[in-house]
Structure 1
Amino acid sequence: METLGVPLHWLIGRPELRLTVLAGRDGLDREAVWAHSIDLADPVPWLSGGELLLTTGLRLPEAEAGQRAYIQRLADAGVAAVGFGTGLSHRHVPAAVVDAADKVGLPLLEVPLPTPFVAITKAVMERLAELQYEGVVRASRVQPRMTRAALRDGARAVVRELAVSTHATVLYLDDAGAVRAAHPSGSAGVDPGVLAELRSAGGSDRATQALSAGPHGVVVAQQVRVGPRTHGRLVLAADRELTAVDHLLLGHAASLIALQAEKPLRLQDEQHRVNSLFLRMVLDGALPLRTARDHLTEAGFPARNGIRVLVLSGPSPWQALDTVGPRLAEIGLPRFGAVREGRAVLLLPGDGPRVGMRAGGDDGAAESDRRGGAAGIGLARGLVDDAVARFGPRLWAGLSLVHEPDAGQQALHEASNAVAVAEARGRSGLVAFESLAGHVLVSAPETREVLRRMAAERFAPLSAHDRDNGTELLASLRAFLEHHGQWGAASAALEVHRHTLRSRMERIRTLLGVDLDSAHVRAELLLALAAWEGVADQ
C-alpha cells in the first residue's frame, strides 16, 4: 500500500519556509512521508525511507570523501530529500555535499537560519493531515455513487464506478475464475500471467491478496464474500502503488457486490427453511391429502403422480442437502429437505421429472407408470451419485415407494428401511425399497392388513412394557431386525452399548416367546413392523 506523503515541490512552494533547491531537481516529484531532524554522523540506523532529513551538518565529516560517503548512505537508505540548515555549523552547504547529491539524484534543500526545523516539520504534519482528510472526503463522495450504481445496475455498475474512481482496471471474477464484469471492457489491463495466478489460486482464504508489483504494476484481489459463502474476487490493477483510499473503495465495492449476490441466495435460504418445515409436517402425517398436494403444487413441486422420500446417510445432512440442491434446480424442482435422526431427508416426485406426462388407454397408462417409476429411481440415483462424488464412499441412500403426499410417514419408514439395508451391505449408493424382497407384501392393502393385525398382536406386549416402564424395547427390536441381527450395527444405530442391546433382546425374547435366532422369525417380524403404521402408539 502506498504511504501518504507530501510532494517536495509543494513544500518548496511554501514562501514562508524560504527553501532553496541546491541539487537533485529531477527528484522534486518525490513525496516526504515525514520530516526528521537528526545530526548524527551516521543517521541510517534511525531511518526507514521516505523522510525529509533535516541536519545542520554538525557531525558532517570535514573531508570531502567523508561528506560524499554521507550523502551516498542517505541515498541508499531511501530518504526523500535532505534539508541542510545553514548559518550555524556551516555558513554554506559544502560543495562536495551539493555535488554528491546531484550525482545520486537526491534533492538537497538549503534551509536558511531564520527558518526553524520545527516549522518544516509542522508544515509536513499539517499537509499530511490535509491529505488524509481529502482522502476521507473523496471516499465519502465515491461510496454513495458506488452504492447507487449497485442498486441501479448491480455488479457491472459497481466495477465501472470503482475503475473510474481509482483510475485503474477492475475485474470481477466468479469462483471459477470467469470474468463476470470488467472496466475498461475485457481484461487487457491485467497481465495474463497474473490472471492465470488468480485462477490457480482458487478459493484462497485470504481476504485481500497482492499478486504483482512488477513491470505490469500493482494487482490486488479482494474476496467477495458474506460470512462463509464466497462469490468470487474483485481485482484492481493499477500502474502505481495503491493508496489507503483505493483499498477502502475496493473493500466497499466488494461488499456491495457480495450483498447483490447474496439477495437471491438469502431468499432461497428462507424458502428452503419454509419447505423444510412443511416437509416435517408431511413426514409426520399431519396434513390431509388435499392440503399437502395443493401446497406442493403451488411451490412448483409436481405432486400429481405422488411422492417418494429419499434418505441420505453418512455425511453432514445439511451439506448433503446443499449438494443435491443444484441438481434439483437444473430440472426445475424446488428443494423440500429436512433432517431426521442425523440423516438428510428429501422429497422427490413419484415419477421423477416426467411428472404430468400422460399416455392414452389403460395399457398406455400402465406403461407410463412403469416409465415413471424408472424415472423416479433415475432421478434419485443421479442425486446420490452427485453426493457420493463429493463425500466419498461412506454415503448410503434409501428410496421409498410412490405414495400420496399424505402418506409421508409410510414413505419415510420405507426409505429408512432401505438405507439401513444399504448401510448393512457396506456399499455406497442407492437402495430402492421396491428392490427389497417382501415389499410387494408390505405395499399390498390386503396383505398389509393381515400383517398389521399380526403386528398388533405380536407387539402389544412390547408397546405396553415401553409405555409402563419407560423402556425402548420396540425401537431396539426394530434396529435389531433392520440391521439383520448384527449386534454392532444395531447398537451403533441406537447409540447404546452392545451389552445393553443384548439385555433388551433377552427381555424381548421372553415377552414375545419367539426364537430371534431364526431368520424366518426375523423376516416375519420385520414385515409386520413395515406394515404396522403407528405401532408405537398402540
Structure 2
Amino acid sequence: MPLRISDLLARPDLALSVAYDVPEPLRARPVDAATVSDLLQPGKWLQGGELLMFVGLLLPMEPAACRAYVQDVADGGAACLALGLGQGLPYQEAPGPLVDAARVAGLPLLTVPDEVPFIAVTKAVFDARAHEQREVLARAFATQRRLTAAAAGDGLRPMLQEWTEATGVGAAVLDPLGRLLAAGGDPGTGTDGAPPDEARDLIERVAARGLRGSAASTVAGRQLEVQPLGARTLRGLLLLTGRPDAAARSVVPGLVSLLSLELERRHLHDEPERRRRSALLSELLAGEGPGAERARDLLASAGLAADRVRGVVVEAPGGPNDGAREAAAQEMAAALALALPGGLVRVAGGTIEAVAGEESGIREVLGRFAPHRPAGIGPATAPESVRVSLRQAAGLLGVSRAAGEPAEARQSETSRLLLDLGDRHTLLGYADSVLGPLDLADNGGELLATLAAWLETGGAWDATSRRLGVHRHTVRNRLDKVMALTGRRLDDADDRFDLWLATRIRRGGTPPAGGAVTDASR
C-alpha cells in the first residue's frame, strides 16, 4: 500500500499536526518523497508527490506572498506542505495568511513540532517507500512463481487463470487474426469469444507491427492493453483488460515470455500434423486426382467440410541461400496452415499452395501472414476439381505482382484487373489474332455469340442452348466449327483460356479515337 498523509499523521513518533481541518480526500494523498527547501519558488524543483518541509525564513507572511508561494508549490505537484515550528525558528504556530492560502489552494498544511527534526520525517517517508517496494517485489515474485508452475501444466488457460486470480486483471490470448485461443477469468470478451469492440483497433495495430511493439488505451474508464506473443515471428496476442498495479505490471514481461514459449511449443508440436495435412494435399493433387467422394473424405479428415473450395498460391519469400529460402517458405506455410481452416498447405518449389473453404477470409489471412507477397486466389470449385482452381491461382501470380495485392479469380474481377493492366490496342490485337478466323467466316457473328455464351455458362450445353434459343446439337456443331477455324480445343485449359480472354477483350469496348474498332458482332 502506498504511504499516505494520513499514515504520517497517525505516527506518534512524528507528532505531526494539521494546520487546518484538512478534508479526508486530501489526507489520502500518497506521499512519494520528502524534501526540504525554503526557496520562495520551489515548484520547478519538484517532481510531484513530495512532502515539502520549510521553516518560512524567507517567506513574507502577507496574504499575496503566501498565495503566490502556495500556488507555486501546488503547481509543482507537491502532496503537502509541512512548516517547522520551535525555539529559534521564525514561527511557533502556523501563521494565518499561510493557513488561509493553503486552505483556498486545497493543499494540506502540516506542522512539525520543535522536538522532531526534519531528517526524522524524511527517514520515515523513505523507510515506508522502501517497505512498499519490498512488498511489491514480494507479490511480483509470488505471482511469477504461480505463473511458472502453471506453465508446467497443459496449455494457455492455466497460466491465464493464475494471472487473473493473482492480479484481478482479465487476460486472453488471441491468434494473429484476433480470434480467441484461451482466456482466464473474465477477459472482457463477448459470449461468442470475440474481443470487445473497443479492443479491435489495438489488436489490428499490434498485429500489423508483428513483434515490434505493444499498444494500450483507456476507453470509458476501462484500460485495454495488447502485447505481441512469439519468439521470432508473431504467434499470437495477449489482451489485458484492467489496470495492473505495480506488482502486476512488473510481471507482465514474464507472462508474455511464458505465453510465447507455450505458443512456440504448440507450433513445434503441430509439425507432424502439418506434414500430414501437406501429404493429404499432395494426394488430392496427385495424378488425375481422386474421385469426388475420396476428395471430400480427404478434406473432411483435415476438418475442411466445405462444399466448395478455393486454391491459393503464394510466391514464397526469398533468402540469401537455398536453406534460408526453404526455412522462410516453411515458416510462412506453417503460419498459413494455422490460420486457414483445415490447414491444407504445402511448399511446392518456389510457391506455397493451399486449399481453403470458399468463405474463409482468405484475403485477410494473406494480408496478415503473407503481406506484400504475390498471391493468386482461384475460383470456388468442387473438392475434386481443386487442381483447376490452383492452376488458375498460380496463373494470377504475375497479375498480383503487377497490382501489388492478391489477385482473385472471381466473377470477372480478375479479368477486369488483367484487362486494365494491358494496353487497349495490344489487347485488341491479341483478341483479333485468336478470333480473326471467325471474323472471316460467313456466320462469324453466330459462332462468336455461341462461343461467348458457352464460356460464360461454364461449358454447360443445355444452358447455352437455352440462352441462344437453339438446339444443343446446333451449339455443338457451331463450337466444332469454332475449333476447326481457330485451331483451338475447348477441352484444353490453355486454349479455352485464350478463347475466354479474347471474348472478354472484345466485350470490353472500343479503343481510343483513331484506333480500329473490333466488335464481336461483326
Instruction: Return the TM-score normalized by structure 1.
Output: 0.53
Q: Does 1:16 align with 2:13?
A: yes
The equivalent residue for 1:91 is 92
Structure 2: how far apart are the matches of 1:344 and 1:107?
A: 71
Q: What secondary structure does 1:145 align onto?
A: helix
List runs of 5+ in structure 1 lacking aligned partners. Answer: 276-295, 349-370, 396-538
Between 78-87 and 215-224, the greater mean CA deviation after superposition: 215-224
Which residue of 197, 202, 223 corresponds with 1:198?
A: 202
Which residue of 265, 286, 290 corresponds with 1:263?
A: 265
The equivalent residue for 2:492 is none
Q: How far has the Cα of 1:155 moved from its partner?
A: 2.7
Q: How far has the Cα of 1:226 moved from its partner?
A: 2.0
Counterpart residue type for residue 220 of structure 1:
E
Q: How far has the Cα of 1:70 moved from its partner?
A: 1.5
The 1:252–1:80 alpha-carbon spacing in structure 2 relative to 1, beyond 3 Å, is same
Structure 1: how far apart are the matches of 2:208 and 2:93?
A: 58
Counterpart residue type for residue 208 of structure 1:
S
Q: Does 1:377 align with 2:387?
A: yes
Which residue of 250, 254, 279 corresponds with 2:256?
A: 254
Structure 2: how far apart are the matches of 1:143 and 1:250?
A: 9
The 1:332–1:166 alpha-carbon spacing in structure 2 relative to 1, beyond 3 Å, is closer
Counterpart residue type for residue 201 of structure 1:
R
Structure 2: how far apart are the matches of 1:104 and 1:25?
A: 13
Counterpart residue type for residue 194 of structure 1:
E
Q: Deviations over 1:484-537 (max 9, x none)?
A: xxxxxxxxxxxxxxxxxxxxxxxxxxxxxxxxxxxxxxxxxxxxxxxxxxxxxx
Structure 2: how far apart are the matches of 1:314 and 1:217?
A: 42
The 1:5–1:191 alpha-carbon spacing in structure 2 relative to 1, beyond 3 Å, is farther
The equivalent residue for 1:476 is none
The 1:322–1:60 alpha-carbon spacing in structure 2 relative to 1, beyond 3 Å, is same
Is the Cα–Cα contact under 8 Å of residues 188 and 195 in structure 2 kept in the other structure?
no
Q: How far has the Cα of 1:20 moved from its partner?
A: 1.2
Structure 1: how far apart are the matches of 2:196 and 2:352?
A: 46
The equivalent residue for 2:29 is 30
The equivalent residue for 2:3 is 6
Q: Does 1:209 align with 2:215?
A: yes
Q: How far has the Cα of 1:208 moved from its partner?
A: 3.2
Q: What secondary structure does 1:54 align onto?
A: strand
Q: Deviations over 1:421-473 (max 9, x none)?
A: xxxxxxxxxxxxxxxxxxxxxxxxxxxxxxxxxxxxxxxxxxxxxxxxxxxxx
Q: Does 1:50 align with 2:55?
A: no
Q: Deviations over 1:242-301 (max 9, x none)?
A: 4432222222222222222221212346888xx7xxxxxxxxxxxxxxxxxxxx999767
The 1:81–1:389 alpha-carbon spacing in structure 2 relative to 1, beyond 3 Å, is farther
The equivalent residue for 1:79 is 78
The equivalent residue for 1:108 is 109
Structure 2: how far apart are the matches of 1:193 and 1:267?
A: 32
Is the Cα–Cα contact under 8 Å of residues 324 and 387 in structure 1 kept in the other structure?
no
Q: Does 1:177 align with 2:178?
A: yes
Structure 2: how far apart are the matches of 1:134 and 1:386?
A: 62
Instruction: Return the TM-score normalized by structure 2.
Output: 0.55
Q: How far has the Cα of 1:14 moved from its partner?
A: 2.2
Structure 2: how far apart are the matches of 1:387 and 1:227?
A: 28
Counterpart residue type for residue 245 of structure 1:
A
Is the Cα–Cα contact under 8 Å of residues 160 and 172 in structure 2 kept in the other structure?
yes
Q: Deviations over 1:87-107 (max 9, x none)?
A: 212111112222322233322
Q: Deviations over 1:191-246 (max 9, x none)?
A: 9663243244252535332312x7504333322232332412322323xxx44322
Q: How far has the Cα of 1:121 moved from its partner?
A: 1.2
Q: How far has the Cα of 1:60 moved from its partner?
A: 1.6
Q: What secondary structure does 2:155 align onto?
A: helix
Counterpart residue type for residue 91 of structure 1:
Q
The 1:22–1:243 alpha-carbon spacing in structure 2 relative to 1, beyond 3 Å, is same
Structure 1: how far apart are the matches of 2:282 and 2:195?
A: 50
Between 386-395 and 192-201, the greater mean CA deviation after superposition: 386-395
The equivalent residue for 1:219 is 224
Q: Does 1:122 align with 2:119?
A: no
Q: How far has the Cα of 1:393 moved from its partner?
A: 6.2
The 1:49–1:217 alpha-carbon spacing in structure 2 relative to 1, beyond 3 Å, is farther
Is the Cα–Cα contact under 8 Å of residues 63 and 101 in structure 2 kept in the other structure?
no
Q: Deviations over 1:295-317 (max 9, x none)?
A: x9997676699679x99877525
Is the Cα–Cα contact under 8 Å of residues 38 and 58 in structure 2 kept in the other structure?
yes
The 1:306–1:338 alpha-carbon spacing in structure 2 relative to 1, beyond 3 Å, is closer
Is the Cα–Cα contact under 8 Å of residues 224 and 234 in structure 1 kept in the other structure?
no
Q: What secondary structure does 2:75 align onto?
A: helix
The 1:302–1:132 alpha-carbon spacing in structure 2 relative to 1, beyond 3 Å, is same
Larger RCO, structure (CA 8 Å, separation 6 or more): 1
Structure 2: how far apart are the matches of 1:244 and 1:389?
A: 53
List runs of 5+ in structure 2 lacking aligned partners. Answer: 289-311, 319-324, 356-380, 406-522
Q: What secondary structure does 2:230 align onto?
A: strand
Counterpart residue type for residue 377 of structure 1:
R
The 1:389–1:109 alpha-carbon spacing in structure 2 relative to 1, beyond 3 Å, is farther
Is the Cα–Cα contact under 8 Å of residues 313 and 393 in structure 2 kept in the other structure?
no
The equivalent residue for 1:144 is 145
Identity of aligned residues (%): 27
Q: How far has the Cα of 1:30 moved from its partner?
A: 1.1
Structure 1: how far apart are the matches of 2:122 and 2:315?
A: 70
Counterpart residue type for residue 110 of structure 2:
L
Structure 2: how far apart are the matches of 1:374 and 1:215?
A: 52
Once superposed, what is the RMSD of the aligned Cα atoms? 4.4
Structure 2: how far apart are the matches of 1:45 and 1:109?
A: 21
Is the Cα–Cα contact under 8 Å of residues 171 and 235 in structure 1 kept in the other structure?
yes
Structure 2: how far apart are the matches of 1:264 and 1:270?
A: 11
Q: Does 1:133 align with 2:134?
A: yes
Q: How far has the Cα of 1:46 moved from its partner?
A: 0.6
The 1:311–1:47 alpha-carbon spacing in structure 2 relative to 1, beyond 3 Å, is closer
| Structure richer in helix, relative to its length | 1
Counterpart residue type for residue 22 of structure 1:
A
Q: How far has the Cα of 1:69 moved from its partner?
A: 2.5
